[in-house]
């Protein structure tokens, strides 16, 4: 199980690598919420996503022999970019299995950052199976996107920063909303935040048709997403929570929240118009939950994590004009 000391050790490892992203407030958002809302802008993180935290934390702890053989990852885009960037920084060859319909910007950025991409059809193929078969053939390490202790600890440094920045601002958060796919960011932040502020409620936020974590928290076992599920939140399209992440999340999380694609579009428009921020669909889910009133924010301090900003220009423009 990942503990607070693991996350603090990851923070030391990551300090020269990552950006300490700002905690942003907005009078317009506070008025809508009827309370104080603070946005953790991980869309401004290196490679445009929190994912660099976990990827670098894992790759930097490989043995020289493991590093020499290279690594393989599987991702819809943000983890792919993070692994490619971390590999280039550390001199490790990286191969990433990605869905062929992933946002073009994520595929192109992964290649620019030094990753070798292998594309597959997300509706007929299984990215994890493809990656693990390739890794077995090559004798190299698989870098999971969420279900690994080093990944979770790295992502949890986001939570450490939230606690520190709230203290600097003189506020104590009542609740933290975190966009949730496989649960790595949620689990890491839950350990980091509740390890220091046990009274804070952590809410995972998911797309309507990808609410596997919400349903799993209710049933107490790992639930699966229907194969026909669709969402514009490509970064949050995971079929079931991770084994390690869910073992943490089921003990530490509050109720799961869900948002529709239209609510996510509204959040993307709000972030651009009011905050001058570009946020991708999966990164905007927590903000969408606040704007849509999915959680009680009146007279409370709420932190929402904007987990990524990698969105194709065409999709962003279509959302802004209401044509998406």
The DSSP code sequence of 174-195 is: SEEEEE-SSSHHHHHHHHHHHT
| Three-state secondary structure call for residue 223 | coil
Cβ(80)–Cβ(117) under 8 Å? yes
Place of tokens 């929190």: 50
Catalytic residue among 40, 51, 194, 294: 51
* The two three-digit tokens of residue 143, written as one number: 């870098």
Catalytic residue among 49, 60, 75, 76: 76
Using DSSP bridges, classify how beta strands 175-179 and 201-207 pair: parallel, antiparallel or unpaired: parallel
Question: Is position 51 annotated as part of the catalytic site?
Answer: yes
Question: Is position 76 annotated as part of the catalytic site?
Answer: yes
Cβ(277)–Cβ(267) under 8 Å? no
Cβ(151)–Cβ(57) under 8 Å? yes
> What's the Cα-to-Cα distance from 209 to each of 239, 257, 259, 304, 306, rounded to whole Å?
10, 12, 9, 21, 20
Cβ(10)–Cβ(154) under 8 Å? yes
Return the active site residues: 51, 76
């Amino acid at each position: 199980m990942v503990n607070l000391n693991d996350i603090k050790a990851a923070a030391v490892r990551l300090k020269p690598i990552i950006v300490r992203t700002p905690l942003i407030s907005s009078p317009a958002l506070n008025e809508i919420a009827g309370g104080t809302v603070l946005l953790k802008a991980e869309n401004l993180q290196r490679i445009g996503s929190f994912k660099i935290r976990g990827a670098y934390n894992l790759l930097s702890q490989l043995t020289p022999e493991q590093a020499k053989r290279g690594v393989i990852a599987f991702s819809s885009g943000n983890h792919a970019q993070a692994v490619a960037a971390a590999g280039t920084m550390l001199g490790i060859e990286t191969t990433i299995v990605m869905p062929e319909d992933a946002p073009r910007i994520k595929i192109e950025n992964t290649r620019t950052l030094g990753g070798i991409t292998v594309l597959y059809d997300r509706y007929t193929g299984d990215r994890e199976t493809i990656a693990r078969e390739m890794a077995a053939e090559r004798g190299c390490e698989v870098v999971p996107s969420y279900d690994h202790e080093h990944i979770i600890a790295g992502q949890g440094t986001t939570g450490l920063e939230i606690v520190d920045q709230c203290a600097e601002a003189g506020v104590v958060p009542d609740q933290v909303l975190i966009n949730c796919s496989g649960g790595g960011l949620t689990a890491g932040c839950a350990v980091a935040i509740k390890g220091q502020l046990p009274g804070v409620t952590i809410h995972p936020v998911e797309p309507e048709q990808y609410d596997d974590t919400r349903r799993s928290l209710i049933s107490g076992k790992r639930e699966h997403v229907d194969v026909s599920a669709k969402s514009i939140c490509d970064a949050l399209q995971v079929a079931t929570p991770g084994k390690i992440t869910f073992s943490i999340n089921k003990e530490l999380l509050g109720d799961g929240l869900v948002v529709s694609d239209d609510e996510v579009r509204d959040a993307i428009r709000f972030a651009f118009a009011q905050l001058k921020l570009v946020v991708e669909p999966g990164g905007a889910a927590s903000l969408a939950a606040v704007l849509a009133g999915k959680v009680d924010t009146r007279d409370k301090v709420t932190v929402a994590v904007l987990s990524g900003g990698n969105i194709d220009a065409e999709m962003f423009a279509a959302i802004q004009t209401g044509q998406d």
